[in-house]
A and B are shown apart, each in its own frame.
Chain A
Amino acid sequence: MQALTVLDWLEAQEKRIPEKCAVIDPEGRMTYAALAKYARCVGRALAKEDVAGGAVAIFADKTCHTFAAMLGVLYASAFYSVIDKGHPAPRARAMVETLRAKVILCDSASVEQAGERFRDMSVRLIDLTRCMRDNEPQADSRTDTAKDSRDEEQNDPLPAIREALTDSAPMYCNFTSGSTGTPKGVLIGHRSVTDFIPVFTETMGLTEQDVFGNQAPLDFDVSVKDLYSALYLGATVALIPQKYFMNPTALTGFLAAHDVSILIWAASALVVLSVMKGLSLARMERLRRIIYSGEALPKTHRMHWHEVYPDVTFVNAYGPTEITCNCTYHVLTEEDIPADDVPVGIAFRNKKVFLLDDEDRLVTESNRQGEICVAGTCLAIGYLGEAGTEAFVRNPVNDLYEERIYRTGDIGRYDDAHRLFFCGRRDFQIKHMGHRIELFEIERAAESVEGVARACCLYDEAGTKIVLAEEGVADTGRVRSALKEKLPRYMLPGVIRYVEHIPLNKNGKADRAALRRLTGMDEHA
Protein backbone atom coordinates (compact mmCIF):
# COMPACT_ATOMS: atom_id res chain seq x y z
CA MET A 1 0.00 0.00 0.00
CA GLN A 2 1.19 3.51 -0.79
CA ALA A 3 2.52 5.52 2.14
CA LEU A 4 0.07 8.11 3.51
CA THR A 5 2.70 9.84 5.60
CA VAL A 6 6.42 9.58 6.26
CA LEU A 7 5.49 7.65 9.44
CA ASP A 8 4.75 4.64 7.23
CA TRP A 9 8.38 4.78 6.07
CA LEU A 10 9.64 5.19 9.62
CA GLU A 11 7.73 2.13 10.80
CA ALA A 12 8.76 0.05 7.79
CA GLN A 13 12.44 0.73 8.61
CA GLU A 14 11.80 0.15 12.32
CA LYS A 15 10.60 -3.37 11.43
CA ARG A 16 13.13 -4.08 8.69
CA ILE A 17 16.35 -2.56 10.08
CA PRO A 18 15.70 -1.62 13.74
CA GLU A 19 19.39 -1.58 14.68
CA LYS A 20 20.61 0.49 11.76
CA CYS A 21 21.74 4.01 12.53
CA ALA A 22 19.13 6.47 11.26
CA VAL A 23 20.53 9.80 12.42
CA ILE A 24 23.84 11.10 13.79
CA ASP A 25 24.80 14.36 15.48
CA PRO A 26 28.09 15.27 17.20
CA GLU A 27 26.63 14.19 20.56
CA GLY A 28 25.34 10.79 19.55
CA ARG A 29 23.23 8.69 17.25
CA MET A 30 19.83 7.02 17.04
CA THR A 31 18.83 3.73 15.47
CA TYR A 32 15.60 3.42 13.52
CA ALA A 33 14.08 1.60 16.52
CA ALA A 34 15.07 4.42 18.89
CA LEU A 35 13.97 7.16 16.49
CA ALA A 36 10.51 5.60 16.14
CA LYS A 37 10.23 5.01 19.86
CA TYR A 38 11.22 8.56 20.80
CA ALA A 39 8.89 9.94 18.14
CA ARG A 40 5.98 8.05 19.70
CA CYS A 41 6.96 9.34 23.18
CA VAL A 42 6.59 12.87 21.86
CA GLY A 43 3.42 11.94 20.00
CA ARG A 44 1.79 10.63 23.19
CA ALA A 45 2.80 13.68 25.19
CA LEU A 46 1.26 15.88 22.47
CA ALA A 47 -1.89 13.74 22.28
CA LYS A 48 -2.79 15.10 25.72
CA GLU A 49 -2.59 18.66 24.42
CA ASP A 50 -5.26 18.39 21.72
CA VAL A 51 -3.05 19.59 18.89
CA ALA A 52 -4.35 17.39 16.04
CA GLY A 53 -4.82 19.36 12.83
CA GLY A 54 -2.97 22.37 14.23
CA ALA A 55 0.59 23.58 14.55
CA VAL A 56 3.28 22.61 17.02
CA ALA A 57 6.30 24.91 17.06
CA ILE A 58 9.76 23.45 17.70
CA PHE A 59 12.40 25.63 19.35
CA ALA A 60 15.47 23.45 19.63
CA ASP A 61 18.95 22.83 18.27
CA LYS A 62 19.47 20.56 15.27
CA THR A 63 19.90 17.16 16.95
CA CYS A 64 18.74 13.55 16.66
CA HIS A 65 16.15 14.29 19.35
CA THR A 66 14.78 17.23 17.38
CA PHE A 67 14.26 15.00 14.34
CA ALA A 68 12.42 12.54 16.62
CA ALA A 69 10.31 15.46 17.88
CA MET A 70 9.35 16.48 14.33
CA LEU A 71 8.15 12.92 13.69
CA GLY A 72 6.42 12.96 17.08
CA VAL A 73 4.39 15.98 16.01
CA LEU A 74 3.27 13.99 12.98
CA TYR A 75 2.27 11.08 15.24
CA ALA A 76 -0.04 13.52 17.02
CA SER A 77 -1.53 14.43 13.59
CA ALA A 78 -0.31 17.99 13.94
CA PHE A 79 2.11 19.84 11.68
CA TYR A 80 5.47 21.18 12.82
CA SER A 81 7.25 24.44 12.28
CA VAL A 82 10.84 24.80 13.42
CA ILE A 83 11.63 28.28 14.75
CA ASP A 84 15.26 29.34 14.36
CA LYS A 85 16.66 30.13 17.81
CA GLY A 86 18.61 33.01 16.29
CA HIS A 87 15.54 34.94 15.14
CA PRO A 88 14.87 38.22 16.95
CA ALA A 89 12.11 37.87 19.55
CA PRO A 90 9.41 39.87 17.71
CA ARG A 91 9.86 37.74 14.60
CA ALA A 92 9.80 34.45 16.52
CA ARG A 93 6.69 35.60 18.38
CA ALA A 94 4.99 36.67 15.16
CA MET A 95 5.62 33.20 13.74
CA VAL A 96 4.14 31.44 16.76
CA GLU A 97 1.14 33.79 16.55
CA THR A 98 0.63 33.14 12.84
CA LEU A 99 0.86 29.40 13.52
CA ARG A 100 -1.62 29.69 16.44
CA ALA A 101 0.57 27.08 18.09
CA LYS A 102 -0.65 25.91 21.49
CA VAL A 103 2.55 24.05 22.20
CA ILE A 104 6.23 24.77 21.70
CA LEU A 105 8.61 21.83 21.99
CA CYS A 106 12.06 22.80 23.30
CA ASP A 107 15.15 20.86 24.25
CA SER A 108 16.72 21.47 27.66
CA ALA A 109 19.35 23.69 26.05
CA SER A 110 16.63 26.00 24.74
CA VAL A 111 13.87 25.89 27.35
CA GLU A 112 15.09 28.88 29.32
CA GLN A 113 15.49 31.03 26.21
CA ALA A 114 12.05 29.92 25.03
CA GLY A 115 10.49 30.89 28.36
CA GLU A 116 11.84 34.37 27.93
CA ARG A 117 11.14 34.71 24.23
CA PHE A 118 7.53 33.56 24.37
CA ARG A 119 6.69 35.10 27.75
CA ASP A 120 3.04 36.11 28.23
CA MET A 121 1.92 34.14 25.18
CA SER A 122 -0.82 31.58 25.67
CA VAL A 123 1.43 28.72 24.66
CA ARG A 124 2.65 25.71 26.59
CA LEU A 125 6.37 24.88 26.59
CA ILE A 126 7.20 21.19 26.67
CA ASP A 127 10.75 20.17 27.49
CA LEU A 128 11.57 17.55 24.92
CA THR A 129 14.50 16.13 26.80
CA ARG A 130 12.39 15.51 29.87
CA CYS A 131 9.42 14.24 27.88
CA MET A 132 11.63 11.65 26.15
CA ARG A 133 13.48 10.70 29.32
CA ASP A 134 10.24 10.09 31.17
CA ASN A 135 9.15 7.77 28.41
CA GLU A 136 12.57 6.27 27.73
CA PRO A 137 12.57 2.59 26.77
CA GLN A 138 13.89 0.31 29.53
CA ALA A 139 17.56 -0.59 29.41
CA ASP A 140 16.70 -4.22 28.71
CA SER A 141 14.16 -3.40 26.05
CA ARG A 142 16.31 -4.88 23.32
CA THR A 143 16.15 -8.32 24.86
CA ASP A 144 12.47 -8.05 25.71
CA THR A 145 10.92 -6.21 22.81
CA ALA A 146 7.66 -8.12 23.18
CA LYS A 147 7.08 -6.79 26.69
CA ASP A 148 8.19 -3.36 25.61
CA SER A 149 5.74 -3.11 22.78
CA ARG A 150 2.97 -4.50 25.02
CA ASP A 151 3.64 -1.63 27.40
CA GLU A 152 3.57 0.78 24.53
CA GLU A 153 0.26 -0.52 23.24
CA GLN A 154 -1.62 -0.16 26.50
CA ASN A 155 -4.01 2.77 26.33
CA ASP A 156 -2.12 4.14 23.36
CA PRO A 157 -4.01 7.10 21.90
CA LEU A 158 -1.89 7.23 18.75
CA PRO A 159 -3.53 4.57 16.54
CA ALA A 160 -6.94 6.28 16.73
CA ILE A 161 -5.42 9.69 15.98
CA ARG A 162 -3.50 8.21 13.08
CA GLU A 163 -6.62 6.52 11.69
CA ALA A 164 -8.32 9.90 11.26
CA LEU A 165 -5.40 11.48 9.38
CA THR A 166 -5.51 11.99 5.61
CA ASP A 167 -2.59 12.76 3.34
CA SER A 168 -4.08 16.12 2.41
CA ALA A 169 -3.38 17.37 5.94
CA PRO A 170 -0.42 19.69 6.53
CA MET A 171 2.91 18.18 7.53
CA TYR A 172 5.16 21.19 8.08
CA CYS A 173 5.25 24.96 7.78
CA ASN A 174 8.36 26.88 6.69
CA PHE A 175 8.46 30.66 6.84
CA THR A 176 9.68 32.78 3.99
CA SER A 177 10.11 36.52 3.63
CA GLY A 178 6.84 38.32 2.82
CA SER A 179 6.35 41.45 0.72
CA THR A 180 3.79 42.83 3.20
CA GLY A 181 6.51 43.06 5.84
CA THR A 182 5.63 39.95 7.81
CA PRO A 183 7.00 36.45 7.17
CA LYS A 184 4.73 34.08 5.25
CA GLY A 185 4.16 30.52 6.46
CA VAL A 186 4.24 28.04 3.56
CA LEU A 187 2.15 25.00 4.44
CA ILE A 188 3.18 21.69 2.87
CA GLY A 189 0.94 18.59 2.98
CA HIS A 190 1.97 14.99 3.63
CA ARG A 191 1.09 13.94 0.10
CA SER A 192 3.55 16.40 -1.44
CA VAL A 193 6.42 14.83 0.50
CA THR A 194 5.45 11.17 0.10
CA ASP A 195 5.06 11.88 -3.63
CA PHE A 196 8.33 13.75 -4.16
CA ILE A 197 10.85 11.84 -2.05
CA PRO A 198 10.58 8.49 -3.91
CA VAL A 199 10.95 10.35 -7.23
CA PHE A 200 13.86 12.38 -5.88
CA THR A 201 15.80 9.41 -4.50
CA GLU A 202 15.32 7.40 -7.67
CA THR A 203 16.21 10.25 -10.04
CA MET A 204 19.30 11.10 -8.00
CA GLY A 205 20.33 7.45 -7.68
CA LEU A 206 20.39 7.49 -3.87
CA THR A 207 20.54 4.20 -1.98
CA GLU A 208 20.20 2.62 1.44
CA GLN A 209 24.01 2.58 1.77
CA ASP A 210 24.25 6.35 1.51
CA VAL A 211 25.06 8.73 4.35
CA PHE A 212 23.61 12.23 3.88
CA GLY A 213 25.60 15.13 5.32
CA ASN A 214 22.82 17.51 6.29
CA GLN A 215 23.84 21.17 5.99
CA ALA A 216 20.50 22.97 5.90
CA PRO A 217 18.79 24.17 9.08
CA LEU A 218 15.57 22.30 9.88
CA ASP A 219 13.42 25.33 9.05
CA PHE A 220 14.66 25.14 5.45
CA ASP A 221 13.13 22.66 3.05
CA VAL A 222 16.54 21.58 1.75
CA SER A 223 16.65 19.48 4.94
CA VAL A 224 13.39 17.76 3.96
CA LYS A 225 15.35 16.00 1.22
CA ASP A 226 18.01 14.79 3.68
CA LEU A 227 15.71 13.61 6.44
CA TYR A 228 12.97 11.95 4.44
CA SER A 229 15.19 10.46 1.73
CA ALA A 230 17.06 8.72 4.55
CA LEU A 231 13.80 7.57 6.13
CA TYR A 232 12.41 6.32 2.81
CA LEU A 233 15.55 4.41 1.88
CA GLY A 234 16.65 3.27 5.33
CA ALA A 235 19.86 5.29 4.91
CA THR A 236 21.63 7.47 7.48
CA VAL A 237 21.62 11.24 7.90
CA ALA A 238 24.44 13.06 9.71
CA LEU A 239 23.30 16.43 11.11
CA ILE A 240 26.02 19.08 10.85
CA PRO A 241 25.71 21.85 13.48
CA GLN A 242 25.46 25.31 11.93
CA LYS A 243 28.53 26.54 13.83
CA TYR A 244 30.74 24.01 12.01
CA PHE A 245 30.44 26.20 8.92
CA MET A 246 32.70 28.67 10.71
CA ASN A 247 35.15 25.93 11.53
CA PRO A 248 36.14 23.94 8.44
CA THR A 249 38.44 21.60 10.39
CA ALA A 250 35.56 20.42 12.57
CA LEU A 251 33.21 20.30 9.58
CA THR A 252 35.37 18.20 7.28
CA GLY A 253 36.44 16.01 10.21
CA PHE A 254 32.79 15.28 10.97
CA LEU A 255 31.93 14.57 7.31
CA ALA A 256 34.92 12.27 6.84
CA ALA A 257 34.43 10.45 10.15
CA HIS A 258 30.86 9.54 9.27
CA ASP A 259 31.63 8.44 5.70
CA VAL A 260 29.28 10.98 4.18
CA SER A 261 28.51 10.04 0.57
CA ILE A 262 25.86 12.61 -0.41
CA LEU A 263 25.76 16.37 0.08
CA ILE A 264 22.39 18.05 -0.52
CA TRP A 265 23.47 21.60 0.20
CA ALA A 266 22.67 25.22 -0.48
CA ALA A 267 25.12 26.44 -3.14
CA SER A 268 26.29 29.13 -0.70
CA ALA A 269 27.42 26.45 1.79
CA LEU A 270 29.60 24.81 -0.89
CA VAL A 271 31.13 28.22 -1.52
CA VAL A 272 31.75 28.73 2.21
CA LEU A 273 33.60 25.43 2.49
CA SER A 274 35.75 26.07 -0.55
CA VAL A 275 36.68 29.66 0.43
CA MET A 276 37.39 28.57 4.00
CA LYS A 277 39.85 26.08 2.50
CA GLY A 278 37.89 23.09 3.74
CA LEU A 279 38.61 21.23 0.52
CA SER A 280 42.27 20.82 1.42
CA LEU A 281 41.37 19.31 4.83
CA ALA A 282 40.03 15.84 5.66
CA ARG A 283 38.82 14.09 2.53
CA MET A 284 35.37 12.53 2.13
CA GLU A 285 36.45 9.21 0.66
CA ARG A 286 32.94 7.98 0.00
CA LEU A 287 31.55 11.22 -1.43
CA ARG A 288 29.83 10.45 -4.73
CA ARG A 289 27.11 13.05 -5.30
CA ILE A 290 26.58 16.76 -4.60
CA ILE A 291 23.10 18.15 -5.14
CA TYR A 292 23.06 21.92 -4.76
CA SER A 293 20.25 24.43 -4.91
CA GLY A 294 19.24 27.87 -3.69
CA GLU A 295 21.25 29.81 -6.23
CA ALA A 296 23.86 29.31 -8.93
CA LEU A 297 27.18 27.81 -7.90
CA PRO A 298 29.80 30.24 -9.26
CA LYS A 299 32.11 28.81 -11.91
CA THR A 300 35.31 29.16 -9.88
CA HIS A 301 33.83 27.16 -7.03
CA ARG A 302 32.36 24.55 -9.36
CA MET A 303 35.83 24.07 -10.81
CA HIS A 304 37.49 23.98 -7.41
CA TRP A 305 35.14 21.29 -6.05
CA HIS A 306 35.46 19.32 -9.27
CA GLU A 307 39.23 19.48 -9.12
CA VAL A 308 39.29 18.07 -5.59
CA TYR A 309 36.46 15.56 -6.19
CA PRO A 310 36.73 14.69 -9.90
CA ASP A 311 34.62 11.53 -9.63
CA VAL A 312 31.70 13.17 -7.85
CA THR A 313 28.51 13.88 -9.82
CA PHE A 314 27.15 17.42 -9.43
CA VAL A 315 23.45 18.15 -9.73
CA ASN A 316 21.90 21.62 -9.92
CA ALA A 317 18.38 21.54 -8.45
CA TYR A 318 15.84 24.36 -8.59
CA GLY A 319 12.57 25.24 -6.93
CA PRO A 320 10.92 27.39 -4.27
CA THR A 321 9.53 26.07 -0.96
CA GLU A 322 5.97 26.38 -2.32
CA ILE A 323 6.43 23.43 -4.68
CA THR A 324 8.06 21.08 -2.13
CA CYS A 325 11.85 21.23 -2.39
CA ASN A 326 12.66 21.21 -6.11
CA CYS A 327 10.81 21.00 -9.41
CA THR A 328 13.71 20.77 -11.88
CA TYR A 329 17.23 19.35 -11.92
CA HIS A 330 20.26 19.17 -14.16
CA VAL A 331 23.09 16.65 -13.88
CA LEU A 332 26.29 18.53 -14.70
CA THR A 333 28.41 17.21 -17.54
CA GLU A 334 32.15 17.68 -17.89
CA GLU A 335 31.41 20.68 -20.18
CA ASP A 336 29.13 22.27 -17.58
CA ILE A 337 31.86 22.50 -14.94
CA PRO A 338 33.67 25.50 -16.52
CA ALA A 339 30.53 26.89 -18.24
CA ASP A 340 29.35 30.43 -17.53
CA ASP A 341 25.78 29.36 -16.91
CA VAL A 342 24.39 25.96 -15.90
CA PRO A 343 20.76 25.08 -16.69
CA VAL A 344 18.28 24.29 -13.94
CA GLY A 345 17.33 21.57 -16.36
CA ILE A 346 14.24 19.44 -16.69
CA ALA A 347 11.24 18.73 -14.49
CA PHE A 348 11.17 15.94 -11.92
CA ARG A 349 8.59 13.24 -12.66
CA ASN A 350 5.07 14.28 -11.61
CA LYS A 351 5.94 17.95 -11.51
CA LYS A 352 4.59 20.11 -14.32
CA VAL A 353 6.86 23.06 -15.04
CA PHE A 354 6.08 25.64 -17.75
CA LEU A 355 6.62 29.27 -18.73
CA LEU A 356 3.98 32.00 -19.10
CA ASP A 357 4.74 35.29 -20.86
CA ASP A 358 3.50 38.74 -19.80
CA GLU A 359 0.19 38.11 -21.59
CA ASP A 360 -0.25 34.77 -19.77
CA ARG A 361 0.44 32.77 -22.92
CA LEU A 362 2.45 29.59 -22.87
CA VAL A 363 6.09 29.97 -23.95
CA THR A 364 7.27 26.89 -25.82
CA GLU A 365 9.94 28.22 -28.15
CA SER A 366 13.57 28.47 -27.08
CA ASN A 367 15.30 31.63 -25.85
CA ARG A 368 12.12 33.59 -25.06
CA GLN A 369 11.62 34.47 -21.41
CA GLY A 370 8.60 33.76 -19.27
CA GLU A 371 7.60 33.31 -15.64
CA ILE A 372 8.30 29.83 -14.30
CA CYS A 373 5.03 28.19 -13.19
CA VAL A 374 4.48 24.85 -11.51
CA ALA A 375 1.52 22.48 -11.09
CA GLY A 376 1.03 19.10 -9.47
CA THR A 377 0.79 17.23 -6.18
CA CYS A 378 3.89 19.13 -5.09
CA LEU A 379 2.03 22.43 -4.65
CA ALA A 380 1.80 23.74 -1.11
CA ILE A 381 -1.58 23.78 0.60
CA GLY A 382 -1.04 27.53 0.62
CA TYR A 383 0.08 30.21 3.03
CA LEU A 384 -1.03 30.40 6.64
CA GLY A 385 -3.63 33.11 6.94
CA GLU A 386 -4.28 34.88 3.67
CA ALA A 387 -0.94 36.38 2.75
CA GLY A 388 0.23 36.20 -0.83
CA THR A 389 -2.57 34.07 -2.25
CA GLU A 390 -2.10 35.75 -5.64
CA ALA A 391 0.79 33.33 -6.26
CA PHE A 392 -1.50 30.27 -6.20
CA VAL A 393 -3.89 30.81 -9.08
CA ARG A 394 -5.96 29.06 -11.69
CA ASN A 395 -3.91 28.13 -14.74
CA PRO A 396 -4.73 30.90 -17.25
CA VAL A 397 -4.03 28.63 -20.23
CA ASN A 398 -6.43 25.93 -19.06
CA ASP A 399 -10.06 27.01 -19.59
CA LEU A 400 -11.41 23.45 -19.40
CA TYR A 401 -11.30 23.05 -15.61
CA GLU A 402 -9.81 24.72 -12.58
CA GLU A 403 -6.17 23.70 -12.50
CA ARG A 404 -4.24 25.22 -9.62
CA ILE A 405 -0.74 26.47 -10.36
CA TYR A 406 1.99 28.31 -8.49
CA ARG A 407 3.57 31.37 -10.09
CA THR A 408 7.14 31.38 -8.80
CA GLY A 409 7.97 34.99 -9.75
CA ASP A 410 11.17 33.59 -11.27
CA ILE A 411 11.98 34.25 -14.90
CA GLY A 412 13.21 31.40 -17.08
CA ARG A 413 13.95 30.46 -20.69
CA TYR A 414 14.57 27.25 -22.61
CA ASP A 415 17.67 26.62 -24.65
CA ASP A 416 17.55 24.77 -27.98
CA ALA A 417 17.70 21.43 -26.17
CA HIS A 418 14.60 22.53 -24.18
CA ARG A 419 16.52 22.76 -20.93
CA LEU A 420 15.33 25.45 -18.54
CA PHE A 421 17.63 28.29 -17.47
CA PHE A 422 16.99 30.65 -14.57
CA CYS A 423 17.13 34.32 -15.63
CA GLY A 424 16.28 36.34 -12.51
CA ARG A 425 13.23 37.68 -10.67
CA ARG A 426 10.25 39.68 -11.86
CA ASP A 427 9.87 41.59 -8.58
CA PHE A 428 11.90 42.86 -5.65
CA GLN A 429 12.68 39.50 -4.20
CA ILE A 430 16.35 38.61 -3.95
CA LYS A 431 18.43 35.57 -3.07
CA HIS A 432 21.05 36.50 -0.50
CA MET A 433 23.27 33.93 1.23
CA GLY A 434 20.82 31.21 0.23
CA HIS A 435 17.84 33.03 1.72
CA ARG A 436 14.81 34.33 -0.16
CA ILE A 437 14.29 37.92 0.84
CA GLU A 438 11.63 40.46 -0.09
CA LEU A 439 13.32 43.85 -0.11
CA PHE A 440 9.93 45.29 0.92
CA GLU A 441 10.13 43.43 4.19
CA ILE A 442 13.39 45.19 5.06
CA GLU A 443 11.93 48.55 3.99
CA ARG A 444 8.83 48.04 6.17
CA ALA A 445 11.04 47.11 9.13
CA ALA A 446 13.21 50.20 8.58
CA GLU A 447 10.17 52.48 8.31
CA SER A 448 8.96 51.21 11.66
CA VAL A 449 12.15 52.53 13.29
CA GLU A 450 11.40 55.75 15.14
CA GLY A 451 12.31 58.77 13.04
CA VAL A 452 12.72 56.99 9.71
CA ALA A 453 10.39 58.73 7.28
CA ARG A 454 11.01 56.59 4.24
CA ALA A 455 13.27 53.68 3.35
CA CYS A 456 14.30 52.01 0.15
CA CYS A 457 16.31 48.84 -0.20
CA LEU A 458 18.59 47.92 -3.08
CA TYR A 459 20.63 44.84 -3.80
CA ASP A 460 24.21 45.22 -4.93
CA GLU A 461 24.62 42.03 -6.97
CA ALA A 462 28.31 42.56 -7.58
CA GLY A 463 29.16 42.96 -3.92
CA THR A 464 26.31 40.65 -2.81
CA LYS A 465 25.31 43.32 -0.34
CA ILE A 466 21.94 44.67 0.79
CA VAL A 467 21.98 48.46 0.75
CA LEU A 468 19.36 50.41 2.67
CA ALA A 469 18.77 54.11 2.06
CA GLU A 470 16.68 55.95 4.60
CA GLU A 471 15.58 59.48 5.22
CA GLY A 472 14.92 60.81 8.69
CA VAL A 473 17.66 59.44 10.93
CA ALA A 474 21.19 60.69 10.42
CA ASP A 475 22.58 58.24 12.99
CA THR A 476 22.62 55.07 10.89
CA GLY A 477 24.09 53.12 13.81
CA ARG A 478 20.80 53.59 15.65
CA VAL A 479 18.85 52.31 12.62
CA ARG A 480 21.12 49.29 12.50
CA SER A 481 20.62 48.45 16.19
CA ALA A 482 16.86 48.83 15.82
CA LEU A 483 16.81 46.58 12.75
CA LYS A 484 18.73 43.89 14.62
CA GLU A 485 15.76 43.64 16.97
CA LYS A 486 13.36 43.14 14.09
CA LEU A 487 15.05 41.17 11.35
CA PRO A 488 16.99 37.93 11.17
CA ARG A 489 20.70 38.44 10.55
CA TYR A 490 20.70 37.41 6.93
CA MET A 491 18.25 40.25 6.21
CA LEU A 492 20.31 43.00 7.85
CA PRO A 493 21.58 45.50 5.28
CA GLY A 494 25.37 45.46 4.88
CA VAL A 495 25.24 49.19 4.25
CA ILE A 496 22.82 51.75 5.66
CA ARG A 497 22.96 55.18 4.02
CA TYR A 498 21.27 58.27 5.31
CA VAL A 499 19.94 60.45 2.50
CA GLU A 500 18.18 63.74 2.90
CA HIS A 501 15.50 62.79 0.39
CA ILE A 502 14.86 59.49 -1.30
CA PRO A 503 14.33 60.36 -4.98
CA LEU A 504 10.79 59.64 -6.16
CA ASN A 505 9.49 58.90 -9.64
CA LYS A 506 6.36 60.48 -11.07
CA ASN A 507 4.16 57.86 -9.45
CA GLY A 508 5.46 58.86 -6.04
CA LYS A 509 7.43 55.63 -5.65
CA ALA A 510 11.10 55.41 -4.82
CA ASP A 511 13.18 55.89 -7.96
CA ARG A 512 15.54 52.97 -7.62
CA ALA A 513 17.73 53.87 -10.57
CA ALA A 514 18.28 57.39 -9.24
CA LEU A 515 18.93 55.98 -5.79
CA ARG A 516 21.56 53.62 -7.18
CA ARG A 517 23.39 56.62 -8.61
CA LEU A 518 22.96 58.56 -5.38
CA THR A 519 24.37 55.76 -3.22
CA GLY A 520 27.25 55.24 -5.60
CA MET A 521 26.12 51.82 -6.80
CA ASP A 522 26.63 51.05 -10.45
CA GLU A 523 23.39 51.74 -12.23
CA HIS A 524 23.80 48.65 -14.34
CA ALA A 525 25.04 46.35 -11.61
Chain B
Amino acid sequence: MRETKEKIITLLREINDGVDYAKEQDLVDDGILSSLEVMTLITMIEETFGIELQPADINAERFASVDRIAEMIAPYLS
Protein backbone atom coordinates (compact mmCIF):
# COMPACT_ATOMS: atom_id res chain seq x y z
CA MET B 1 0.00 0.00 0.00
CA ARG B 2 2.81 2.35 0.94
CA GLU B 3 4.57 1.69 -2.33
CA THR B 4 1.34 2.32 -4.23
CA LYS B 5 0.90 5.64 -2.46
CA GLU B 6 4.44 6.69 -3.26
CA LYS B 7 3.90 5.87 -6.92
CA ILE B 8 0.69 7.90 -6.91
CA ILE B 9 2.48 10.88 -5.38
CA THR B 10 5.15 10.64 -8.08
CA LEU B 11 2.45 10.74 -10.76
CA LEU B 12 0.71 13.67 -9.10
CA ARG B 13 3.99 15.59 -8.91
CA GLU B 14 4.40 15.12 -12.64
CA ILE B 15 1.04 16.75 -13.20
CA ASN B 16 1.48 19.56 -10.73
CA ASP B 17 4.58 19.95 -8.58
CA GLY B 18 4.89 22.03 -5.44
CA VAL B 19 1.89 20.53 -3.64
CA ASP B 20 2.16 18.51 -0.43
CA TYR B 21 0.08 15.60 -1.68
CA ALA B 22 0.47 13.48 1.43
CA LYS B 23 -1.38 16.17 3.39
CA GLU B 24 -4.13 17.30 1.01
CA GLN B 25 -7.49 15.68 1.67
CA ASP B 26 -9.64 17.31 -0.98
CA LEU B 27 -7.65 17.49 -4.19
CA VAL B 28 -10.68 18.00 -6.39
CA ASP B 29 -12.92 20.27 -4.33
CA ASP B 30 -9.99 22.41 -3.23
CA GLY B 31 -9.17 22.97 -6.86
CA ILE B 32 -5.76 21.32 -6.85
CA LEU B 33 -6.77 18.93 -9.62
CA SER B 34 -8.90 20.11 -12.54
CA SER B 35 -11.07 17.73 -14.55
CA LEU B 36 -8.41 17.65 -17.23
CA GLU B 37 -5.76 16.79 -14.68
CA VAL B 38 -7.90 14.02 -13.17
CA MET B 39 -8.20 12.73 -16.69
CA THR B 40 -4.42 12.78 -17.18
CA LEU B 41 -4.01 11.03 -13.85
CA ILE B 42 -6.41 8.24 -14.90
CA THR B 43 -4.32 7.56 -17.99
CA MET B 44 -1.08 7.64 -15.98
CA ILE B 45 -2.44 5.31 -13.29
CA GLU B 46 -3.59 2.83 -15.92
CA GLU B 47 -0.20 2.88 -17.63
CA THR B 48 1.90 2.74 -14.47
CA PHE B 49 -0.05 -0.02 -12.74
CA GLY B 50 -1.06 -1.85 -15.91
CA ILE B 51 -4.74 -1.82 -14.97
CA GLU B 52 -7.95 -0.58 -16.53
CA LEU B 53 -10.22 1.40 -14.23
CA GLN B 54 -13.94 0.70 -14.44
CA PRO B 55 -16.19 3.63 -15.42
CA ALA B 56 -18.12 3.32 -12.15
CA ASP B 57 -14.92 3.94 -10.20
CA ILE B 58 -14.26 7.24 -11.85
CA ASN B 59 -15.71 10.12 -9.87
CA ALA B 60 -14.42 13.12 -8.01
CA GLU B 61 -14.74 11.63 -4.53
CA ARG B 62 -12.36 8.80 -5.35
CA PHE B 63 -9.70 11.27 -6.37
CA ALA B 64 -9.97 13.39 -3.21
CA SER B 65 -6.67 12.29 -1.67
CA VAL B 66 -3.72 9.99 -2.17
CA ASP B 67 -5.28 7.57 0.36
CA ARG B 68 -8.57 7.49 -1.54
CA ILE B 69 -6.84 6.93 -4.86
CA ALA B 70 -4.79 4.10 -3.36
CA GLU B 71 -7.96 2.52 -1.92
CA MET B 72 -9.64 2.78 -5.29
CA ILE B 73 -6.91 0.97 -7.18
CA ALA B 74 -6.12 -1.62 -4.47
CA PRO B 75 -8.72 -4.16 -5.72
CA TYR B 76 -7.25 -3.99 -9.22
CA LEU B 77 -3.79 -4.87 -7.93
CA SER B 78 -4.72 -7.94 -5.89
A residues apposed to B, CB below 8 Å: 86, 243, 245-250, 268, 271-272, 275-278, 280-281, 433, 476-477, 480, 489-490, 492, 494-496
Contacts and interface: CB of A to CB of B under 8 A. Distances in A.
Nearest to A281: B55
A272 B18 contact: no
Contacts of B28: 246
A496 B18 contact: yes
A476 B18 CA distance: 7
Nearest to B16: A494
Contacts of B42: 275-276
Interface in B8-30: 15-19, 28
A246 B60 contact: yes
Nearest to A488: B31
B48 interface: no
B34 A489 contact: yes
B31 A277 contact: no
A194 to B, nearest CB: 33
A433 B59 contact: no
B18 A477 contact: yes
B49 to A, nearest CB: 16
10 contacts: A245-B35, A246-B28, A248-B59, A250-B59, A271-B39, A275-B43, A277-B53, A476-B17, A489-B31, A496-B17
A249 B36 contact: no
Contacts of B16: 492, 494
B77 interface: no
A245 B15 CA distance: 19
Nearest to B39: A275
Max chain B C-beta neighbours (<10 A), residue from A86, A245, A246: A246
Interface of B: 15-19, 28, 31, 34-36, 38-39, 42-43, 53-56, 58-60, 63
B36 A433 contact: yes
Contacts of B15: 494
Contacts of B55: 248-249, 276-278, 280-281
Contacts of A245: 35
Contacts of A278: 55
Given A272-B35, A476-B18, 13 more contacts: A246-B59, A248-B59, A272-B36, A276-B38, A276-B55, A277-B54, A280-B55, A433-B36, A476-B17, A490-B34, A494-B15, A495-B17, A496-B18
B58 A433 contact: no
B8 to A, nearest CB: 17
B58 A276 contact: yes
A433 B28 CA distance: 16
A211 B34 CA distance: 27
Contacts of B54: 277
A246 B35 contact: yes
Contacts of A477: 18
B64 to A, nearest CB: 10
A249 B34 contact: no
Nearest to B17: A495
Contacts of B56: 249
A278 B59 CA distance: 11
Given A249-B55, A272-B39, A243 B18 contact: no
Given A249-B59, A489-B31, A480 B39 contact: no
B10 to A, nearest CB: 15
